[in-house]
Amino acid sequence: MIKQTRKTLLKLLRDFRLFLAATFIFGFSQSIVDSTFNNFLSETFFINNLQRGLLELPRELPGLLTIIVSAISYLC
């Protein structure tokens, strides 16, 4: 029984390490894509930070409204 428990713990530790590695790689690659995309918009379409924020507002607004309505519902 002790050997089986040890194997299970080692497998969990391996899976957790793989999860952490995948999370790190995803975060690192996403930061590269974000910075590249910012440069692309700036150099190709001459879009500054304010214009990009206004461009992405329709995409982000439903999530913001969901948080606000949830907070109001929770407080009432």
In the chain, what are the domain boundaries?
Answer: 1-45, 48-76
Instruction: Express each pLDDT in 22-34 by its tens digit.
Output: 999 999 999 999 8
pLDDT top residue among 53 and 11: 53
Check whether 12 has a pLDDT greater than 90.
no
pLDDT top residue among 72 and 16: 72
Question: Distance between CA 52 and CA 40 in Å, rounded?
Answer: 12
Check whether 9 has a pLDDT greater than 90.
no
DSSP string, the chain: -HHHHHHHHHHHHHHHHHHHHHHHHHHHHHHHHHHHHHHHHHHHH---HHHHHHHHHHHHHHHHHHHHHHHHHHH-
- What pTM, to 2 d.p., does this model score? 0.56
For all residues of the chain together, what is the average pLDDT? 89
